[in-house]
Amino acid sequence: MLELALKGSKKYYGWMTLLLGVIGGGFVFYLWQFNFGLGITGMSRDVSWGFYIAQFTFLVGVAASAVMVVLPYYLHDYKAFGRITILGEFLAVASVTMCILFIFVDLGQPMRVVNVILYPTPNSVLFWDMIVLNGYLFLNIIVGWKVLEAERNGIAPPAWVKPLIYLSIPWAVSIHTVTAFLYCGLPGRGFWLTAILAPRFLASAFAAGPAFLILLCLLIRKLTKFDPGKEQIQSLAKIVTYGILMNVFFLVCEVFVVFYSQIPEHMDHMKYLFFGLHGHGVLVPWMWTSVGLMLLAIILLVNPITRQNESVLAVACLAVFAGTWIDKGLGMISGGFVPSPLHHVNEYVPTIPEIIITLGVYATGFLVLTALFKIAVSIKEEIAA
Amino acid sequence: MKRSRRSFLKIAGISALGIGSKPILNAFSASAPQGDTPQPAVMRKPEALTAKHWAMVIDTTKFKSRDDFKPIIEACHSIHNVPELKNKNHEIKWIWEEGYKHAFPTLENPYFEEKVKDLPFLVLCNHCENPPCVRACPTKATFKRESDGIVLMDFHRCIGCRFCMAACPYGARSFNFRDPRPFIKEEKINLKFPRRTKGVVEKCNFCAERLAVGQLPACVEAANGAIIFGDLADPDSDVRKLVSTNYTIRRKLSLGTSPSVYYIV
């Protein structure tokens, strides 16, 4: 089936070449970082994780959201999603690939990455994160591939795939839970020290991931002969609606606890993000934009008239994606480091090389995503013909 | 032909996975008896200083001004080849000065005079009894030495993930954002202690390398009696006596890390 990714239109080749160009650019800058050290980034002694880890966190959510199409189809026998489960699974594969790359480019000594396996440390959450991420990658590659292959050949998928599919459901929840545990188990980081962090991550994941999938479905309908289906898109839209409502509700819960209890170690991070602290507040406009986008999305999604209009739905999905990206990809990580545990306010802003490397990783993800979607869609077209 | 190549790849893949998981499985069976194979033992030099629980008492009443800190910081940083980086983001420090409100942010009192709020304190790694950094490290590159409770770093195993820096509630850890070597003054290089490479984390090690040859930590030597070091587990030690007869404070006690650095105020 892999050969299907190699045959395509001029547009397809053009897009892939563009992505390869961006990857190449990112790679050159990565070589610079590899040579110089992480000093070319905006990270510091106080903000020791930055853009890379934030993107990783956001994309774990996009990956986990595949469960939102797999679960209704396989557990509730919601037949309509049979058409698009493969898209969810392949989106997960591309996202996890990016997650792993983002962790990799964040390492100070990437040549030693195998130490995590050579000296396994079960008390470290990062060890478990490695296991769940790689496991999820394999599960989705195997399940997606086998089911698609069977579909192409007009036969039922092999029986041993079923248990893997069922396993992938709790596994999806686990990847984002473990990722949240990276942060929420740390003493002295008041912003993350909340039991609601994992649920919050999952809620934003179940909003952002399906929103992105809707956008991809609309794009596929436009570019190919395969139509993911109106019903499918509307069902996804309802999932996005619940996801974004939960996400904003959880944010409100956080805000209440933090500002009603008035415990400085917890409150100061929120103050920094939304109002600025001791005259520092680069993220303030971003955070309010994020809140605005999420509220706009809620208005557009809750109202059935606007939700059922696919053009408006696309706008709402963009708002959900951008809003949750700012929340998690910008605010969540550096917000936890500012102020520092010693209550110094040292702000973090990513540098240009850091952003180019980030774009390189995203381009790699999109390359994988495009190739996998091309295979899936070609087979869907083949079957329909 | 195609079939067999496929099944070969499958078997090769599964085998690779199996081999890769071996050390992981080992980790879970680490408590199993190792049979009759003799275990390597660490030989100690006869002059080595030993303790069950090394601890430090910093008598802040004995410091008159900020100038008293300088020789202490200088002694530590030159002995350990700590580079002097101009870029604040890349700063590396093992022992340094913080104002009271930063060293003890939870013990702030709004009615303190500004002078008191900014009262300088020496801060360093607390060598916690329950260290969150050790819990977080995915490679055991940082670990608590069972024999004496010192929290150590293996610079050669560290992968530079900086999870320990996120975990440390005292900001005690520094990361080599770039090669530190050009920033160590040539005349100050101590060839008896390793210099670091870029991309690894480092911090105070309670001068484990000096204790091993019978010397007290560099900061203790340079402090003229203002820093006292000893075995907290020994009821007759100086540190134990000071801690039991003086009012001492420790940093962020509510977090349950149980620091081994005490401050007499």
Q: Considering only A132-136, A295-299, B153-157, B182-186, which range has the smallest mean pLDDT?
A: B182-186
Tens digits of residue pLDDT in A79-116: 999 889 999 999 999 999 999 999 999 999 999 999 99
A36 contacts chain B (CB < 8 A):
yes
Report the b/e string of A65-85 with b at 16+ CB within 10 A: bbbbbbbbbbeeeeebbbbbb
The pTM of this model reads 0.91
Which residues of chain A does B257 touch, with a Cβ-Cβ cutoff of 8 Å? Answer: 187
Nearest to A145 by CA among A157, A136, A132: A157
Nearest to A361 by CA among A5, A98, A51, A112: A98
| Strand pairing category for B261-264 and B142-144 | unpaired
Do B165 and A113 lie within an 8 Å CB cutoff? no
Distances (CA, A) of B26 to B20, B29, B33, B35: 11, 5, 12, 15
HSE-CB at A368 with a 13 A cutoff on CA atoms is 19
- Partners of A117 on chain B (C-beta within 8 Å) are 20, 23-24
Task: Give the minimum alpha-carbon distance from B191 to chain A in angstroms, rounded to a whole number.
Answer: 23
Q: Identify which of B141, B163, B144 has the alpha carbon closest to the alpha carbon of residue B153.
A: B141
Model confidence pLDDT, tens digit, residues A4-63: 888 888 999 999 999 999 999 999 999 999 999 999 999 999 999 999 999 999 999 999
ipTM: 0.91
Residues of A whose CB is below 8 A from B28? 122
φ, ψ for residue B98 (rounded to 5)?
-130, 150
- Give CA–CA dist B69/B97, Å, rounded: 8
A35 and A134 Cβ atoms separated by less than 8 Å = no
Q: Which of A286, A214, A217, A274 is nearest to A244 (CA)?
A: A214
The 3-state DSSP composition of chain A as helix, strand, coil percent (nearest 5) reads 75, 0, 20
Q: Which of B6, B28, B91, B139 to mutate to test the interface with A (most CBs of A within 10 A)?
A: B139
**Residue type at A312 in one-letter notation:** V
A:B CB pairs within 8 Å: 164
Closest CA to A172 of A195, A215, A150, A201: A201
The C-alpha angle with vertex A121 and arms to A47 and B125, in degrees rounded to 5, equals 45
Q: What pLDDT does A230 receive?
A: 92
A202 has a chain B CB within 8 A of its CB: no
Beta strands B174-175 and B151-153 are: unpaired
Beta carbons of B90 and A183 less than 8 Å apart: no
Q: Is B256 left (phi over 0), alpha (psi -120 to 50) or beta?
A: left
Q: Could you tell me if A186 lies within 8 Å of chain B, comparing CB atoms?
A: yes
- Chain B CB contacts of A122 under 8 Å are 27-28
- 129-158 in chain A: CB under 8 A from chain B: 130-131
Q: Which residues of A touch B160 (CB under 8 A)?
A: 38, 107-109, 112
In one-letter notation, the amino acid at residue B94 is: W
pLDDT digits (tens, 9 = 90+) for B91-111: 999 999 998 889 998 777 777
Is the peptide bond between A304 and the residue preceding it cis, with omega within 30 degrees of 0? no
Q: Are strands B151-153 and B54-59 parallel, antiparallel or unpaired?
A: unpaired
The residues, ordered by sequence, that sit 6+ positions from B195 with a Cβ below 8 Å of its Cβ are: B81, B180, B181, B184, B189
Q: Give the CA-trace dihedral at B167, B172, B173, B177, to 10 degrees.
A: 120
Amino acid at residue number A122: P
Side-chain half-sphere CA neighbours of A383 within 13 A: 16
Q: Is A129 helix (H, G, I), strand (E, B) or coil?
A: helix
Q: Chain B: nearest CA to A224, how far in angstroms? A: 31
Residue B1 pLDDT more than 60?
A: no
How many angstroms separate the first and last alpha carbons of chain B?
A: 80
**DSSP type of residue B44:** P
Interatomic CA distance for residues B135 and B142, integer angstroms: 9
Q: What is the DSSP secondary structure assignment for residue A160, as one 8-state letter?
A: T
Q: Between the CA of residue A26 and those of A17, A20, B69, what are the distances in Å?
A: 14, 10, 45
In this complex, the residue of B157, B169, B198 whose CB is nearest that of residue A341 is B169
Q: Which residues of A fall within a CB distance of 8 Å from B101?
A: 343
Residue A218 has pLDDT above 80, yes or no: yes
Q: Does A170 touch chain B (CB under 8 A)?
A: no
- Residue A107 CB: number of other CB atoms within 10 A? 19
Residues of A in contact with B252 (CB under 8 A): 187-188, 341
Average model confidence (pLDDT) for chain B?
A: 89
- What six digits make up the tokens of A180? 């949240």
Q: What is the pLDDT of residue B210?
A: 95
Q: Do the Cβ atoms of B123 and A88 come closer than 8 Å?
A: no
Using CB atoms, pick whichever of A37, A187, A336 lies closest to residue B256: A187
- A126-185 tens-digit pLDDT: 999 999 999 999 999 999 999 999 999 999 999 999 999 999 999 999 999 999 999 999
pLDDT digit string (tens) for B50-88?
Answer: 999 999 999 998 988 888 999 999 999 999 999 999 999
Are the C-beta atoms of B103 and B262 separated by less than 8 Å? no
Q: How far is A136 from chain B (nearest CA, A)?
A: 15
